[in-house]
Each structure stands twice: as structure tokens, then as C-alpha cells.
Chain A
Amino acid sequence: MNVRQIIYLATLFAASLLFLFGLLGLSHPRSARRGMIMAAFGMLIAVLGTLLHQRIVSYEWIIGGLVVGTIIGIPMGLWIPMTKMPERIALSHAFGGLAVALVGVAEYYNYHNELSSFNMGAIGFEVLLGTVTFTGSLIAFGKLQGILSGRPQTFRGQNLMNFILLGVALLILIFLVVQPTQQAVFYALTSIGLLLGVLLVLPIGGADMPVVICLLNSYAGLAAAATGFALNNPVLIVCGSLDGGSGFILALIMSKAMNRSFQNVIFGAFGAEVHEPKSADAGGAPIREGTPEDAAELLKIANSVIIVPGYGMAVAQAQHAACDLAAILEKNGTPVRYAIHPVAGRMPGHMNVLLAEANVPYDQLFELEAINDDFPRTDVSIVVGANDVVNPAARNTPGSPIFGMPILNVDQSKAVIVLKRSMNPGFAGIENELFVLPNTMMVFGDAKTTLTKITAAMKQE
């Protein structure tokens, strides 16, 4: 054991602790940035320590990769707009999966003649998880970005085929543990992983994206942990399990908020079930349509207002317009709060980030449990581009596909203003009886334009 090795091991240990305590900082917005800086420092010393590792003999490829990665990473960090956050996160999961898969392939390529069964098993898991994460995240990115259709792409026997592929992959893995030198079999495993990633994510619809993104986050972490087992590197295991655990916990929170079962989450098979567009009860009922001016009249006499944002707000980039309206209301002495459903948007916390970007203080953002009992005491709720998360069918209609899902009870407030582009149903493909309630006023049009008009109407006395 020489000095270089001791420094290397010490930096890895310090980095592990810094990552864990950095993550602890994220338990409150006050300490979050401090935590992030700790983790970034941990990353720096882990990299510096690794550069001392005796297996490293040349630096040109390393420097090339670090430079190119930095050049691409800076614009991805600084210039991507907040509304594109789900796409950006999906893309970075793809990079994470790619890095891990390539490390596994290179390890196998170099050492396939001297691998122990244990290392082979770890590399096999690493490559399988890495490749699934890579292609799966690319498909998720394509769907979010609109390159691929956001609708579920399904065909008969899809789940069966995925299960068979997964089964074959696991059998190959066992075979490789016994026979590590069978190169063709290893590359077959890599290919199956790439294919499986595509097939697992294709059937998933846009509204289920929060769960998928969390799951891919989890897979990326587990792949990194498997790398740690393969290379005997504890910091990879620590980081990988933090990442994997975080993704898994978020996936569970999301699935609970969508009233989906645990198995649904694990196997990612949820997109496959076909939602029947039913509930004719809302079909022919009359809706009350209003102009932005009507909405402004309603808001002028309101004593309390809750704004409920959804994915439509992100699409219309209406967060600043919503914040402007809230400012006018507060100037009139009307308190404004925001109610955030856990699955509003396309990723966990999506709405919070958008509103924070529009300078909404975070103590005005309320989680579902914290605000739901206040709706009956609220004069006006403004729904901005949310649909399924405010559909009372989740409470009232036992046959509905979303029955049992926790929703924001906006229908209980004295008046509801719904901003919506058209009467088209939301992603779950079900009618929303909120829209036909007598205390609901529908204002159609682009959410940003409508909010700006309401604000303008509020300003004229």
C-alpha cells in the first residue's frame, strides 16, 4: 500500500460522506445550496483522487473526455429553460446510463479472460441496467420533446414479449456467470438491454411520465451501484444507492398520488392498460363559459384565491402571467395561495420549480394534504391547465379509471375558474365533471393570454 493508494481511498471515503450530508441539506430550501456545494466539492476530490490511481497511465483520453463533457455540460446547465426540465432530466439519465454501460463493456472487453464469476455477474447487471436506462431515457426524452407521439404505443402481447426478453436477459446473465469468456453472449445481453429500454418506455403515455422518469432515475443509480460491485469501488455503491433509492422513493410517491399499485410501478406496465373514455354523465351537460373580464369581476370581489397549476401552465409558459395576476390580487388585499398536486406536470416538483422561477415565494406553495381542507372556505379557485388532478370523478365515480386517486378538491370552493385550451379531455382520456358544475366558469384560450387579459381587466376599476 503506497501513498497514492491511501490518498485515493481517503478521497473516495470523504466524497461518500460529502454526498450523503449534501443530500441531507436538501431537506430544507435554506440549507439546500450549502448541501449542493458540499456534494460538488465531494465530486471534485473524488475525481482528483482517482486521477492518482495506479491503473491510470496516460491522460490524453481523459482530458479529451473532460473537456468535451464540460463544453456540452455548461449549456445544458445554464441555458435550458425551466419549462424544459423534464426533457433535460430524461436526457441526463440517458447520459448516466450510457457512461455506466460503456464502462461495463470496456471492462469486459479488456478482462473477459480473467473475470471471476462474481465480477462477471456485477458487470452483467451493470450493462443490462445501463443499456435499459440509456435507450429508455432517450425514448422518454423523445416523447416529452414531441419527437415521438406522447400517446401510448401498444401492440398485442407486448407485456408478454417484455417479460420473455427480461427472462432471456437474466438467463444469459446466469450463463455468463458460469461461462464468462463467451463474448458473443455478452454482446447479445448488451443488445437485449438496448432493445428492452425502448420496448419498456414506448407503451407509456405522457401523463405517466413522472413515474417513468423516477424509475429511470432509479435504474441509473442501481447501474452505478452495480459498477461499484464490479470494480470494488465503495463510492460508486454509495452514490448509486442514493440515486437509485431516491428515484425509487419518488416513483412510489408518484404512483401513490396517481393511485397506481406497487406492481404497476415495478414492472412499468401501466401504459398498457386501455382507458375507456367513459362517464357519459358529463357528456351533454351545459357548461358555463365566461370571458376574461367575467373572471376578473369574480376575482375583484373574492376574499381568498387558490391557484391550481397543471401541465397546461408549463406548455403555455404561463407561470409569469399567473404570478402577475397574483400580485394584483394581493395588492387588492386578496390573499393568494398555490395548491400543487404531486403529479401535476411531467416530473416530481415540476410546478414548484416553474413558480419559483416566476418569483413566487415558496411559502405560498402548498402540498395537497396541507391545503385540501381549505377549499370549502375559498372564494375562487383558478385552475390553470390542470385536469385529471382536479377531477371529482376520482372521489365520486367508482367506475372511473382514476377513482381513488387523491385530488385537489377545487369543486368545493365557492367558485371555480378553469383556464383551458378546449373541451378535450386530459391525458387519461376521461371527461371532467368539474367543468359542468354550476359554480364553474370555463375560460377558453391559451392560458398565458387569458391570464394576461384577466390581469388587465383587474387593473381597470
Chain B
Amino acid sequence: MNKITVHCTVNHKPVVVETEPNKRLLDLLREDLGLTSVKEGCSEGECGACTVIFNGDPVTSCCMLAGQAEGADIITLEGISVDGKPDLVQQAYMESGAVQCGFCIPGMILVTEALLAKNPNPTREEAKQALSGNLCRCTGYTKIVDAVLLAAEKMRGEASR
């Protein structure tokens, strides 16, 4: 199989990867770039565990081919933390008790980041809507939605804790 070369920006750094054309974006990130925070849960775009931020929008990386990343700006969970420390969204997830098994959390946090970049003051309903493509089997979602709203408060500088 002839390899292809993909040029893109991953976690704020320019990347050039030579890879197989039959790979999915998920495989490119996990296997070629070692970004294993990107999880594979269903392989058909249903569970949202493989979510990455692609040109500002959350997408399921299991449903994109690696070649589609050409020229794109991609953020994974590894690109969220600041100097090795959790950012406000990550802190909110920890403090809200939103993390149980943790497998869905990379996707959840990235969706939250993408939401708050566009809507810094979401209602509970808007937060649920944003998370509607991401499945969690442990929590029942309440604390995850709490985390989104706490993160929004923190980012607006309103959180008391």
C-alpha cells in the first residue's frame, strides 16, 4: 500500500506524518502520534469516546480518514492541559465528581472546551445538547453536566471554589 503524507496541526504544533491511506484519523492519532487519550469505544460514531476538536468543532475521529486531516487544526486531550497542569475545564470535571471509569472523559472534556469557546454562558439544557453525542455508562450524566456549568463559571471568573 502506498503511503500518504498528512500535514496538519496537532495540539498547537505542526505535524507531518507518513501513514497508510486506509487509516482512520483515530488510528493516526493513537498509533502514529501516540495520543492514546483518544479512545475507541464503538468505531461507528455513536459513543463519542474518540472525539477530537477539528477546526474548532468536536468530531468523532473514528468516522474520518487520516487523509481528511490534511491542513486541519486538531486538538486532543493532551493539548488541553497548561504546563502539565489541568485547565479550568479539567479541574471542574475533577471537582464535580464527574469522572468515574474515565473512558468517556477525554471526549466529554473536548466537547466542553468546544462548547465554552463558542458559548461561555450555557444553560443546563445547552450543556446537555452539546454532550448529546457522548455516551457515559457510569455516571448518569448529572455530574458531567454539573462540571460543564462549573467550568463555565470558572472561566467567567465567577466560581467560588
Q: Do A and B come from one complex?
A: no
